[in-house]
Amino acid sequence: MPEQAVNESTLRLPFDTPQHAEIAYRVLSVDQEPRRNFVRKTLSLEENVLVVQFSADQVKNLRTAISSFFECLLLCQDTIRLFGDAGTQPSANSA
């Protein structure tokens, strides 16, 4: 059997500020990929852009890893959007 090529995908996700990007980076770095998923995930920061690289031998594993990552990312983004300014500026911008 010929050696299988690796499937890769890179997401570049810009945030409003580098601070928010760093928060998302730290929040989303905690969870390891499930061992049986055979997906490698690496997160990095470029100023206000969160860069996430996925690689896997099988496309289907890549897809599940990316879609579950998006669920966490969206929740994290929504939390930042809703509560981002509340801690430093009380009563301002709170819904």
Partner 1 sequence: MVCALGIEGSANKIGIGIINDGKVLANVRRTYITPPGEGFLPKETAKHHREAILALVQASLKEAELQPSDLDVICYTKGPGMAPPLLVGAIVARTLSLLWQKPLLGVNHCIGHIEMGRLITGAQNPIVLYVSGGNTQVIAYSNKRYRIFGETIDIAVGNCLDRFARIIKLSNDPSPGYNIEQLAKQGKQYIKLPYVVKGMDVSFSGLLSHIEELAEPNKRRNKRKKPTDEAEKEPEYSKEDLCYSLQETIFAMLVEITERAMAHCESNEVLIVGGVGCNERLQEMMRIMCEERDGKLFATDERYCIDNGLMIAHAGAEMFKAGTKMPFEDAFVTQRYRTDEVLVNWRDD
Positions in the binding site for partner 1 (CB under 8 A): 23-24, 26-27, 29-32, 71-72, 74-76, 78-80, 82-84, 86-87, 90-91, 94-95
CB 60 → partner 1: shortest distance, Å? 17
- We find the least distance from the C-beta atom of residue 72 to partner 1, in angstroms, to be 5
DSSP assignment letter at 30:
S
Least CB distance from residue 23 to partner 1, whole Å?
5
User: Of all helices (H) and strands (E), which one includes residue 10?
Assistant: strand 7-14
* Rounded alpha-carbon distances, angstroms, from residue 48 to 7, 23, 72, 89: 26, 11, 18, 22
Alpha carbons 40 and 3: distance in angstroms, whole number: 18
- The residue among 53 and 79 lying less far from partner 1, judged by its C-beta, is 79
